[in-house]
Amino acid sequence: MFDFDYNFRWNTALKALPDMLAGSWVTVETAVISMLFGIVIALGLTVMRTARNPLLRGFSSVWVSIARNTPALFQIYILYFGLGAFGLNVSSWFALVAGITFNNAGYLAENFRGGLKAVPETQIKAARSLGMSAFQTYRLIVVPQLLRIVFYPMSNQMVWAVLMTSLGIVVGLNNDLTGVTQSYNVLTFRTFEYFAIAAVLYYAIAKLIILTARLLAWRLFRY
């Protein structure tokens, strides 16, 4: 069954490690940017969902359902090839960031909605009757409590964002971790070695994010 006629060349592959670490940095950066924009948009979508205007409500529910019911790769594709059809030639990095942001915003909005239910309506009413504006109420009363509830799903989403950046390779991104790995792969055809190192790096990034999130939660959410 097994006929191993293959010599692993780990030494050659390990020489690519500095470049791959640089690629990891791009990966993390991309994920962080998409996450930050994702959070802001998701907060907007969550507020819109509670709005009275049916147009706003419709817009946010369409966004959420498209983001959640189609593959992330599809979303990146449509931004990359679709915008190109209108003569807007976006770079593959931009398409990747925009695609992941779109996806993150959809998933996070759903999480926020769940979190929002946990903030009692009476608190908002109390804040408003104390003379706070709607914006102040959200910023000072609702969002801090919301963040506490959605922190754990958010750190999960961050890991997913990192894993999703690997899709950039499909639209031709070549400086993130997967992109760098693939360029070494096509030069040498040592597919297994390079991608195994990439897998280890991705695992390390994911674990670092979880660890950071734990530490942050411990620091931020102490009463």
Partner 1 sequence: MFETSFAITDLQFMLAGAWVTLKLTLWAMLIGTASGLAFGLLRAIFPLMSAPLSWLLDVFRSVPLLIQFVLFNSFNSIAGLNWTAFAVGCLVLGIYCASYCTEIIRSGVLAVPSNVTRAARSLGLTFFQTLRYIVLPMAARVSFPGWINLVLSVMKDTSLVLWIGIIELLRASQTIVTRIQEPILVLCIAGFIYYVMSWSVARMGAMVEKRWQEND
Residues at the contact surface with partner 1, assessed by CB under 8 A: 1-6, 65-66, 69-74, 77-78, 81-82, 84-85, 159, 163-164, 166-167, 169-170, 178, 191-192, 195-196, 198-199, 202-203, 206-207
CB of 190 to partner 1, least distance (A): 9
| Mutual angle of helices 17-49 and 143-164, in 10-degree steps | 140
The rounded distance, in Å, linking the Cα atoms of 3 and 7 is: 12
CB of 93 to partner 1, least distance (A): 17
Q: Which phi-psi region, left, alpha or beta, contains residue 207 (left: φ > 0; alpha: ψ -120 to 50)?
A: alpha
Query: Cβ neighbours of residue 94 under 8 Å, at least 6 residues apart?
Result: none
Among residues 192 and 221, whose Cβ is nearest to partner 1?
192
CB of 84 to partner 1, least distance (A): 7
CB of 157 to partner 1, least distance (A): 13
| In the block, residue with structure tokens 């991309």 | 30
Query: Cβ neighbours of residue 219 under 8 Å, at least 6 residues apart?
Result: none
CB of 3 to partner 1, least distance (A): 5
Among residues 37 and 77, whose Cβ is nearest to partner 1?
77
Among residues 112 and 160, whose Cβ is nearest to partner 1?
160
Among residues 47 and 167, whose Cβ is nearest to partner 1?
167
Among residues 189 and 223, whose Cβ is nearest to partner 1?
189
Nearest 5 degrees, angle CA 144-CA 218-CA 120?
30
The rounded distance, in Å, linking the Cα atoms of 49 and 41 is: 12
CB of 69 to partner 1, least distance (A): 4
Give exposure, 149-177, as e/b (b: 16+ Cβ within 10 Å): bbbebbbebbbbbbebbbbbbebebebbb
Among residues 81 and 221, whose Cβ is nearest to partner 1?
81
The rounded distance, in Å, linking the Cα atoms of 96 and 165 is: 7
